[in-house]
Amino acid sequence: MPVTASGDLSHDAAPITQREVERKVLLPADATLPVLAGVLPGVVGVVERPAVTLVAEYHDTVDLRLARWGVTLRRRAGGADEGWHLKLPVASDVRDELRLPLDAGEVGHVPGPLADTVLALVRGEPIVPVATVTTLRSAQRLVDATGVELAELVDDRVRLVRGGEPVGELREVEVEARDVPERGVPDRGVGSLLDAAVAVLELAGGTPSSTPKAVHALGRLASQPPDVVVPPWPTRDEPAGATLTCVLASGVRTLLLADVGVRRDLPDSVHQMRVAARSLRSALRTFASLVDAPWSSDLRDELRWVADSLATIRDAEVQRARLTSDAGLLGPRDGALAAAAVLRLLDARVEEGRAAAMLALCSERYVQLLDALVDAARDPRLAAASGRPAGRTLKPLVRTAARRLRASVEGLQVDDPPQDWHRVRILAKRARYAAQTTAPVLGERVEHRAGALAQVTDVLGEAHDAATCQVVLRELVTGVDGPTAFALGRLHEVEVEAERRERARFAEIWPDVERALRTRRRH
């Protein structure tokens, strides 16, 4: 059955997303808040807001998995924005806050949409109340000469409670920029304003802080690393297994974070997650001699299942973007007819693919895979060969992947059937992944090979996309009116020509790439 951290996906309301760009400063309790009007760039006035008391019940797993990923989840009563808030890190001082109303769930009952968003980070562990933060908040609107609010400053006097016992008090001042677009980034003016505010508050005795209030309440465990940490890359003289551990940790971390993006329907997130799954599979295949065979085989099978679960939505996204763009080459009339037909089919296919993908990503099978991947990132089941020096052990594995690619290209012709070209593309991706994952250890020459292979996979990917788009167009042309069929036929010719062009481009660049793959370091 589908699972989330709360076991509930029934709440229909979609969270509202608010991008936060802010700076925090811890201020002594007896410090005087400095005057900011006329001091901060662009700020000419301050408008006081009424003081308000906020009571926030923070939720996490018992081992604080969310906090250790830099995520906070709370149910806060009081204030204009009371409700459930899930805060996800985006960049330094930038977070996305997903909001649901207070009645979406009582304390201890996390709303399904929020629990589902972080499923990959908690991996089925119950989310429970872990701390209470009570805040007396005084706020100021920082406005420009026209009265437009540039930022809000809040002066919070905070009481922290954990396990029913008081654990401390603090005073925290936050300065948050206004009118930051969703999924946008702050411009230089916003950054200058916030930096200036921090500087003024430091002069008043403050200390810059990036620690959420909940982490202050939760103690040392909340500041520990997340479940998956990428260790430092080893040298070529260290055991090869250490390199594989880095590769797996990096891939698993990418997959977990991409999962959050997929659930939020963020741009390119499906692609990122699918690439992460495929890269992990490729690493386990490339380094098969270094790991326990049954363990590796099971993981590869499950990673393939995940990648396949995302295939429909990803393919439809790519085809929709490509075909609607290329329809613009047909002129206004035919372009509009072709694009409309494409969107009717592929919009529905994207939604169907997303529904199927989410069923897979909310299943018990998937949660079990996440646990297995986290275990693999921490402590992979290595074989005896993994104890040999990385330099001598990894080079032959990278060369084998490159040799298989070269063999597949021998005799390849521009007009060969799509399955032959698809096989070359698959082997090129495997060779690319092998080079990319070992380059931090094997050095600049392998990094150069990875770059050359990236060029190859990009060209082959374009050819593959053009070929699959032809299949979609042949499917579309049945059952449409004459003018639309004519427009789709013209678009089909565009994709046929694009496929031939990219195949010819591959033939043009391959000799240089092959030389790069054959070159060995001279001693």
Q: Length of the chain, please?
A: 523
Kindly tell me the sign of the dihedral angle through the C-alpha atoms of 492, 493, 495, 496. Answer: positive
Q: How far apart are CA 146 and CA 190, in angstroms?
A: 17
Contact predicate 156/24, CB 8 Å:
no
Mean pLDDT for the stretch of residues 392-402: 95
**In which residue are the tokens 């400095």 written?**
34
Query: Residue 520 — pLDDT band, cuts 50, 70, 90?
Result: low
pLDDT at 6 over 50: no
Angle at 265 between CA 264 and CA 266, to 5 degrees: 90
Q: 384: which residues sit within 8 A by CB, 6+ positions away?
A: none
pLDDT digits (tens, 9 = 90+) for 280-332: 999 999 999 999 999 999 999 999 999 999 999 999 999 999 999 999 999 99
Terminal alpha carbon distance of the chain: 59
pLDDT at res. 179:
67
**In which residue are the tokens 């020096």 written?**
389
pLDDT at 236 over 90: yes
Structure-block tokens of residue 191? 């950054």
Q: How far apart are CA 290 and CA 486, in angstroms?
A: 56
pLDDT at res. 12:
56
Contact predicate 464/417, CB 8 Å:
no
pLDDT at 135 over 80: yes
pLDDT digits (tens, 9 = 90+) for 45-55: 999 999 999 99
DSSP code of 229? -
Structure-block tokens of residue 141? 């609107």
Convert 156-216 into a string of H (helix), E (strand) and C (coil): EEEEEEECCEEEEEEEEEEEEECCCCCCCCCCHHHHHHHHHHHHHHHHCCCEEECCCHHHH
pLDDT at res. 1:
37
Q: How far apart are CA 292 and CA 297, in angstroms?
A: 9
Q: How far apart are CA 67 and CA 181, in angstroms?
A: 25
Q: How far apart are CA 303 and CA 244, in angstroms?
A: 17
pLDDT at 269 over 50: yes
pLDDT at 4 over 50: no
pLDDT at 95 over 90: yes
DSSP string spanning 416-466?
A: S-HHHHHHHHHHHHHHHHHHHHHHHHH-HHHHHHHHHHHHHHHHHHHHHHH
pLDDT at res. 185:
43
**In which residue are the tokens 């002069």 written?**
203
Mean pLDDT for the stretch of residues 471-486: 95
Kindly tell me the sign of the dihedral angle through the C-alpha atoms of 428, 432, 438, 444. Answer: positive
pLDDT at res. 27:
97
Q: 166: which residues sit within 8 A by CB, 6+ positions away?
A: 159, 160
pLDDT at res. 3:
42
Query: Residue 471 — pLDDT band, cuts 50, 70, 90?
Result: very high
pLDDT at 454 over 50: yes
Query: Residue 518 — pLDDT band, cuts 50, 70, 90?
Result: confident
Alpha carbon dihedral 169, 172, 178, 180, in 10-degree steps, equals: -80
pLDDT at 395 over 80: yes
Q: How far apart are CA 362 and CA 357, in angstroms?
A: 9
* Range in 200-209, 299-308, 363-372, 509-518 with the lowest mean pLDDT: 509-518
Angle at 71 between CA 110 and CA 160, to 5 degrees: 80
pLDDT at 139 over 50: yes
pLDDT at res. 191:
83
Q: How far apart are CA 348 and CA 316, in angstroms?
A: 9
**Which H/E stretch holds residue 504?**
helix 482-518
pLDDT digits (tens, 9 = 90+) for 169-192: 999 999 999 865 544 444 557 888
pLDDT at res. 76:
98
Mean pLDDT for the stretch of residues 405-418: 94
Predicted TM-score (pTM) of this structure: 0.91
Percent of the chain with pLDDT over 90: 92
Q: 259: which residues sit within 8 A by CB, 6+ positions away?
A: 119, 120, 273, 361
Q: How far apart are CA 63 and CA 282, in angstroms?
A: 32
pLDDT digits (tens, 9 = 90+) for 222-235: 999 999 999 999 99
Query: Residue 338 — pLDDT band, cuts 50, 70, 90?
Result: very high
Query: Residue 149 — pLDDT band, cuts 50, 70, 90?
Result: very high
Domains and CATH numbers, the chain: 16-223 (2.40.320.10), 240-518 (1.40.20.10)
Alpha carbon dihedral 326, 329, 334, 339, in 10-degree steps, equals: 20
Mean pLDDT for the stretch of residues 475-480: 92
pLDDT at res. 190:
80
Nearest to 285 by CA among 422, 430, 393: 430
Q: How far apart are CA 175 and CA 154, in angstroms?
A: 7
**Amino acid found at 63:** D
Nearest to 343 by CA among 472, 253, 221, 164: 472
Q: How far apart are CA 206 and CA 64, in angstroms?
A: 28
pLDDT digits (tens, 9 = 90+) for 351-380: 999 999 999 999 999 999 999 999 999 999
Q: How far apart are CA 165 and CA 170, in angstroms?
A: 16
* Range in 356-365, 439-448, 514-523 with the lowest mean pLDDT: 514-523
Furthest CA-CA distance within the chain:
80
Count of beta carbons in the 10 Å neighbourhood of residue 455: 17
pLDDT at 61 over 90: yes
